[in-house]
Structure 1
Amino acid sequence: MLLCFSSSHRTAEFDLLERLERHAPAVTAALAEQHGIVAGSVVLATCNRFEAYLDVDAQRLAGAATADHVIETVAAASGIDADVLRSSSAVYSDDAVAEHLFSVSSGLESVVVGEGEIAGQVRRALQAARTSGTVTGNLERVFQVASRTSRGVKNQTGIMTAGRSMVRLALELAESRITDWAAVRVLLVGTGKYAGASLAALRERGVVDVQVFSPTGRAAKFALSHDVVPVESDDLLEALGAADLVVTCSAVTDHVITRTLLADAIAAPDAAERRLVIDLGLPRNVDPAVAELRGVELLDLETISIHAPVEELNAAADARELVGAAAAEFAAQSAEQAITPALVALRTHVFGVLDAEIARARSRGDSSEQTEAALRHLAGVLLHTPSVRARELARNGDAQAFVDAAAALFGVEVEEPPRAAGLRAVDDETAAS
């Protein structure tokens, strides 16, 4: 059974998401240790959400008990109270997991609807799980379909172009404070893919004066490949003082810019009088207390999310329709797969009876190769309609009817009857909206 623990900007404060993101490795390891209950996991940790997609053994713990076990595991690994997690998360099961993941990977659940970064983040989460060996066939399949769905949404709707990334939204908010982008002196903190996207967005607006600092010592390499000026640790204070705009997007877990550091930079004789600090890091790269300093304005992820635009209604509606169709087809295919053991059992029974009769005919000398081939063909033809009907019943959520019919007519028993599809959430108390 698929299960998803989801804590996002829709259900939780950014402080909680920051703590979960910081403990993502510990949570991943803890889930991998739940032998017998959790068969596999994929953990997705971004600036707006923390989610664990799980393949769980529904026979060990049923329904809400499974969800509660997962929440307790996440709580223990992250050091966050389990009751806090329950009130700040949603838990999805079965077919609802696929629909949620498809929506997430298509950018429909992001702070900025249609943002382009999330599809890549979902793919990287899957790759990380592959590397660590925690992916099962069920998880691989749902993530592969999620990737195809997000591409379909991007190609067939205007949601990706209508939506704006967090970087671009932040810079749009900054436009009311900046009159001439070409004259702005920028300090970029971070050298990852987010930093590259931030630099590209800045240059689109005409920024030419950019310095880059890396808490991990990678500034020189990034500067060389992106044609900007590197800043070493000894020069950070001076660079901070001179910057009109500071954009941080580092993956480090500690504050890169503290109140004390920025206060010292501001105190320099030739420091800029005013500066805007945009903190795109999660965990935060900037101490929120810097906003108390004279001449400093701070835009962090929580502030930016408040100003996220209303959905582009037509594009969003089209995208949600595609996601819904993809989720419905995934559920139907999953239901067909669930009926497979019953179909195999029926075919095994029929061909077993046929083989026994052919063996008796051979012992009497009454069989020929042509007759045997004709009988096997006849058995296949007779099984065709029940097989088609079984898949139709499964797609309509009535697979058990086929299992019962096979047992009543042929005495065929299936050890694990197919589960009922379509559970939307574990229960009303466990799944927060």
Structure 2
Amino acid sequence: MLICLTANHRNASFDLLEKLSVGTADVARDLVAQSSFVQGAVVLATCNRFEAYLDIDEPVTAGISLAVEEAAESFSSASGTDVGELRDSLTVLCGDNVADHLFAVSSGLESVVVGEDEIAGQVKRALSTARVEGTTSSDLERLFQRASHTSRGVKTKTGLGGAGRSLARLALDLAESRVTDWAQTRVLLVGTGQYARVTLANLRDRGVSDIRVFSPSGRAVVFAAKQGLEPVAADGFLDAIATADVVITCSTADTVVLDAAHLETAVTLPGALPRRLVIDLGLPRNVDPSVASVAGTELLDLETISLHAPLDELNAESDARALVDQAAAEYRAGKAEAAVTPAVVALRSHLFDLLDAEIDRSRSRGESAESTERALRHLVGVILHSPSVRARELARDGRADEVFAAVETLFGLGSAAAERAATAAAAADDQHSPDAVSLEHYRRSAEG
């Protein structure tokens, strides 16, 4: 069973989200390795949400509760947060609700700025990280791949992608009232990652050309060369702050890169500007809140930005939600259909076993083996076709239990036989569909 533990801008403070984004990178691996319940984990951490998607092997309430408790304690310990505060801020989703939620998240429908561009990439990277760490599972793989497919559909089929704006774009929109002329504005960009590139594109869209870049990790020279910017060395950081109208931080550094001491020193340097706007897009935060106390400095951080998020683009969002709901319904139907695969596999296995026995008897009587075998195999295929199609239709209508009951009633193939057949099918090529794998597997075994 899949469950999701989510703390986001709707149910948790930015301070808590900031703490959770630090020190929890390795928790998923340790959780999967040490937990008796958690078989897979994918962690999604962005500037306005922290979510853990868990695959647990115990579908009962007790198992879910234990898995949630283990995860909460692990994330609390790694991030230095109070476990009680974390529990109070977590919303737990189970079963089909997990897909509904992730599909909406990956499509930008649950972001601070509805339709933001970055979240789809963050969802993909979360899965990639889980693969590298060895914490994903087949169910999580299918869930996240389907989520990425859904987000692409939303982007191409609705106006949400164009209407939705990134946090960087929203921050610059809010800065409009503080900036007289973007073309004459001197900007210091702190950070060289994906969000820095997004921010840079938004600055250039506004006509900003005087942009310098500083990297706490020393990547400024390479980034500046690729982007046509002026790099700032470590010993030139304070001078760059002093002569910047706007300082934008979007670094992935785990520690504060700009504090009041930096500003207090910078404003005393020759040529220092009397006023500047500091925009902090980092999570964890890159700027110490105390900078706002330095004369002439105004701070715009994520918490403030989120309070000014625009109203949803109603038509685009409505269309997008309809697509997400449709994708989630199809995902649930697919899972329901797959659930009856063990019963169908057991039925096929049983009939092909009977066929093999009949062929052996035919051969023992001296009949033409080739013609007899061909006729019998064709007959079994015809017999199986309609029940197989009907079983899938019933599963998609939520009647999978009836399929299992019918197979057990008619053929005496109970859950144990179905489980043995499913285990055998799972050993086949995982890149084929479950039913195709099962059919080919049993045909080969029958013919072998």
Secondary structure in 1 matching 2:393: helix
Does structure 1 residue 22 correspond to structure 2 residue 12? no
TM-score by length of 1: 0.92
Q: Does structure 1 conserve the Cα–Cα contact (< 8 Å) formed by 2:278 and 2:298? A: yes
Decide whether aligned partners of structure 1 residues 260 and 154 sit closer, same or farther in structure 2, where only a CA change above 3 A counts.
Answer: same
Superposed displacement of residue 35, structure 1: 4.7
Letter matched to residue 18 of structure 2: E
- Determine the C-alpha separation between the residues in 2 that align with 1:146 and 1:117: 14
Letter matched to residue 100 of structure 1: H
Q: Structure 1 residues 302-311 or 376-385, which shifts more?
A: 376-385
Does structure 1 residue 131 correspond to structure 2 residue 132? yes
Superposed displacement of residue 317, structure 1: 0.5
What residue number does 2:219 align with? 218
What residue number does 1:378 align with? 379
- Determine the C-alpha separation between the residues in 2 that align with 1:196 and 1:256: 19
What residue number does 1:407 align with? 408
Letter matched to residue 120 of structure 1: G
Q: Structure 1 residues 54-63 or 278-287, which shifts more?
A: 54-63
What residue number does 2:155 align with? 154
Secondary structure in 2 matching 1:33: helix
Superposed displacement of residue 269, structure 1: 4.7
Q: 1:16-415 counterparts in 2 under 5 A?
A: 16-58=16-58, 62-365=63-366, 368-415=369-416
Deviation per CA, 1:49-101: give whole Å up to 9, x if none: 11122222125853434333332332233332332222212222222222211
Secondary structure in 1 matching 2:178: coil
- Determine the C-alpha separation between the residues in 2 that align with 1:78 and 1:338: 38
What residue number does 1:423 align with? none
Letter matched to residue 352 of structure 2: F
- Determine the C-alpha separation between the residues in 2 that align with 1:224 and 1:63: 51
- Determine the C-alpha separation between the residues in 2 that align with 1:63 and 1:227: 52
More helix per residue: 1 or 2?
Answer: 2
Number of residue pairs aligned between Structure 1 and Structure 2: 418
Deviation per CA, 1:311-364: give whole Å up to 9, x if none: 100000000100111111111111111111111111112222232233234334
Letter matched to residue 248 of structure 1: T
- Determine the C-alpha separation between the residues in 2 that align with 1:361 and 1:370: 10
Deviation per CA, 1:234-291: give whole Å up to 9, x if none: 1211211111111000010111111111112123353211111000000010001111
Q: Structure 1 residues 139-148 or 75-84, which shifts more?
A: 75-84
- Determine the C-alpha separation between the residues in 1 that align with 2:389 and 2:200: 56
Superposed displacement of residue 367, structure 1: 6.4
- Determine the C-alpha separation between the residues in 2 that align with 1:371 and 1:355: 11
What residue number does 1:431 align with? none
Secondary structure in 1 matching 2:254: coil
What residue number does 2:432 align with? none
Q: Does structure 1 conserve the Cα–Cα contact (< 8 Å) formed by 2:168 and 2:198? A: yes
- Determine the C-alpha separation between the residues in 1 that align with 2:140 and 2:208: 43
Q: Does structure 2 conserve the Cα–Cα contact (< 8 Å) formed by 1:71 and 1:86? A: yes
Secondary structure in 1 matching 2:143: helix
Q: Does structure 1 conserve the Cα–Cα contact (< 8 Å) formed by 2:28 and 2:135? A: no
Deviation per CA, 1:366-390: give whole Å up to 9, x if none: 5643233222222222222221121
- Determine the C-alpha separation between the residues in 2 that align with 1:253 and 1:207: 28
TM-score by length of 2: 0.89
- Determine the C-alpha separation between the residues in 2 that align with 1:137 and 1:167: 35
Secondary structure in 2 matching 1:17: helix
Secondary structure in 2 matching 1:25: coil
Q: Does structure 2 conserve the Cα–Cα contact (< 8 Å) formed by 1:30 and 1:74? A: no
Task: Give structure 1 regions of 4+ aligned residues with deviation exceeding 4 angstroms.
Answer: none
- Determine the C-alpha separation between the residues in 1 that align with 2:414 and 2:208: 71
Q: Does structure 1 conserve the Cα–Cα contact (< 8 Å) formed by 2:250 and 2:281? A: yes
Q: Does structure 2 conserve the Cα–Cα contact (< 8 Å) formed by 1:30 and 1:77? A: no
Q: Structure 1 residues 64-73 or 44-53, which shifts more?
A: 64-73
Q: Does structure 2 conserve the Cα–Cα contact (< 8 Å) formed by 1:58 and 1:66? A: no
Secondary structure in 2 matching 1:175: helix
- Determine the C-alpha separation between the residues in 1 that align with 2:365 and 2:204: 88
Q: Does structure 2 conserve the Cα–Cα contact (< 8 Å) formed by 1:212 and 1:228? A: yes
Letter matched to residue 398 of structure 2: G
Q: Structure 1 residues 256-265 or 375-384, which shifts more?
A: 375-384
